Structure 1
Amino acid sequence: MHAPSEDHMAVVTRILRFLKVTPGKGLMFSKYGHTDVEGYTDADWAGSATDRRSTSGYFTFVGGNLVTWRSKKQKVVSRSSAEAEYRGMAHGVCELLWLRRLLRDLGFGPKKPMDLYCDNKAAIAIAHNPVQHDRTKHVEVDRNFIKEKLDAEIVSFPFISSEYQLAEVLTKAVSTSIFHNSLDKLGMRDVFAPT
């Protein structure tokens, strides 16, 4: 906004072109009989060619319906893919905690730990390991924050294969089939499409 360029205008034009050809697309909310809160988080390690910063993203679901999502470039350069994923997990945990607080205020607080699915086993191991290692010193604040929520059984971190990782569409270029499959799983529907 403060220094618009031709690249910015190209992105705006692309978004407007997408909106023009998809007037009936939107999120369909369904009743699944539960109010479980879960999230999917992913990060690409050193994905930016210019500054080598990673991009992290997450989707959060309440009762099986997509309610929030975000994709953002990380503020620091990560030294490993585990670090990039771990920073992404910290953002996902913050979003889950916000949703938990909101649902409690509405009288629908989660009864069990909220699942945050991650496709990086090293990042999950760091979350569960109470011992500080040299390789985790640079993410110590995130590590303590996540460990505290894990110990309090507010969140859990089940591993999910990259094949089923929904948040991958927020951080990486994916094939057309994976993209459309993800849209279906996210609840995206076209009201004008024949059923």
Structure 2
Amino acid sequence: MSLLPVIVSRKFKKPKRNLFEEFSVKDLGPLKYFLGIEVAKTKDGLVLSQCKYTLDILKDCGKLGCKPSSFPIEHGLKLDKGENEPSIDGNQYRRLVGRLRYHQATRPDITYYVNVLSQFVADPRSNHLEAVNRVLRYLKATPGQGILLSHVGDPVLTAYCDSDWLGCSFTRRSRTRYFLLLDGTPISWKTKKQSVISRSSAEAEYRAMASTVSEVIWVRWLLGELQVHISSPTPLFCDNQAARDIANNPVFHERTNHVEMDCYFVRERVESKEIIPMKISSTMQVADLLTKGLTSQQLLFLLDKIGIANLHASS
């Protein structure tokens, strides 16, 4: 997911005039609602949320009166294919998962769970539907939650990457996950299974690092095209010591042969001062939002760290 165009549009002083000169457009006034995304102005900036979209989902599936939940999935829960579980209506399941996929535009906190639930759309079972209902209960508790686009000064791009080694319970593939923040606002995030099975945690982490570096290079280029120049290296926070050592070590070892291409790619960007690998503790790693179920306390801590706001939260 990416919100970069929304962020950088604030950098132009006269965007409407430029659009009117090039295209035939109509001014609809201040932006409040577009494609299911609500835009609210606050003293801290703009909040992008999907409250109406959330309530529509709950109403359509008869969950408006359900009991709210403080977290979207049980901590440590590992969903499998559920071959011994009863089958359910596949059309209903696919519709719900599809609508949740669009909900990720302003809710990075459900991205991991939607990614996991999407694996079972071909043959959904009752345990998968129970997990979807748990996500809906979480959305019921936080309908006005969304991304805060804060007032910014000089642009600062920050990246976080992580991986869960052998995280998929039935393919044993690890997941790559990353977060990119511009001035503390999430602009791009992703969680995806890696294409091959990693033979060590360092290999899984390094593959995740290479994917993150690729995204960082693209975002830096795009920002430059939009006249938002970032001259300093982008900090890349990784909690795996071995992956950071490989990125900073110019000497290849036999144990790195199976990720040689990624090693060259990342190391080249480190030497060109476009990125700089940084240490971070596992408790501060915001990419954990994209790879595993968290406790309610840890979830709230990480959401606050990436600038997630809740318009309906009690003050």
- Scaled by the length of structure 1, the TM-score of the pair is 0.92
Q: Match of 1:53, SS?
A: coil
Q: Could you tell me which residue of structure 1 aligns to residue 278 of structure 2? A: 158
Which moves more between the two structures, 28-37 or 132-141?
A: 28-37
Residues 238 and 280, structure 2, Cα contact 8 Å, conserved in 1: yes
Give a deviation string over 1:15-56, Cα, whole Å, max 9, x none.
444434422110111124220111111111111221211112
Shift of residue 76, structure 1, vs aligned partner: 0.7
Tell me which of 67, 85, 93 is aligned to 2:205.
85
Q: Could you tell me which residue of structure 1 aligns to residue 169 of structure 2? A: 49
Is 1:109 matched with 2:244?
A: no
Tell me which of 124, 127, 130 is aligned to 1:6.
124
Amino acid at match of 1:26: G
Residues 26 and 189, structure 1, Cα contact 8 Å, conserved in 2: yes
Q: Could you tell me which residue of structure 2 aligns to residue 76 of structure 1? A: 196
Residues 60 and 69, structure 1, Cα contact 8 Å, conserved in 2: yes
Listed as ranges, the matches of 1:1-195 within 5 Å are 4-7=122-125, 10=129, 12-195=132-315
Residues 32 and 64, structure 1, Cα contact 8 Å, conserved in 2: no
- Aligned counterparts of 1:96 and 1:39: Cα–Cα separation in 2: 7
Larger radius of gyration: 2
Stretches of structure 1 that go unaligned for 5 or more consecutive residues are none
Residues 184 and 306, structure 2, Cα contact 8 Å, conserved in 1: no
Q: Match of 1:71, SS?
A: strand
Q: Match of 1:59, SS?
A: strand
Q: How many residues align?
A: 195
- Aligned counterparts of 1:13 and 1:176: Cα–Cα separation in 2: 17
Which moves more between the two structures, 19-28 or 126-135?
A: 19-28
TM-align CA RMSD: 1.9
Residues 177 and 191, structure 2, Cα contact 8 Å, conserved in 1: yes
CA spacing shift, 1:88–1:162, aligned 2, 3 Å: same
Q: Match of 2:244, SS?
A: helix
Shift of residue 6, structure 1, vs aligned partner: 1.6
Q: Match of 2:161, SS?
A: strand
Amino acid at match of 1:63: D
CA spacing shift, 1:13–1:189, aligned 2, 3 Å: same
Give identity over the alignment, percent.
Answer: 42
Shift of residue 112, structure 1, vs aligned partner: 0.4
- Scaled by the length of structure 2, the TM-score of the pair is 0.58
Give a deviation string over 1:43-97, Cα, whole Å, max 9, x none.
1111122121111211100122111111111111111111111001011111111
- Aligned counterparts of 2:159 and 2:125: Cα–Cα separation in 1: 32
Shift of residue 3, structure 1, vs aligned partner: 5.8
- Aligned counterparts of 2:213 and 2:172: Cα–Cα separation in 1: 24
CA spacing shift, 1:3–1:40, aligned 2, 3 Å: closer
Amino acid at match of 1:162: S
Residues 176 and 192, structure 2, Cα contact 8 Å, conserved in 1: yes
Amino acid at match of 1:143: C
- Aligned counterparts of 1:51 and 1:28: Cα–Cα separation in 2: 36
Residues 184 and 307, structure 2, Cα contact 8 Å, conserved in 1: no
- Aligned counterparts of 2:125 and 2:193: Cα–Cα separation in 1: 17
Q: Could you tell me which residue of structure 1 aligns to residue 38 of structure 2? A: none
Higher relative contact order (CA 8 A, sep 6+): 1
Amino acid at match of 2:123: S
- Aligned counterparts of 2:141 and 2:314: Cα–Cα separation in 1: 16
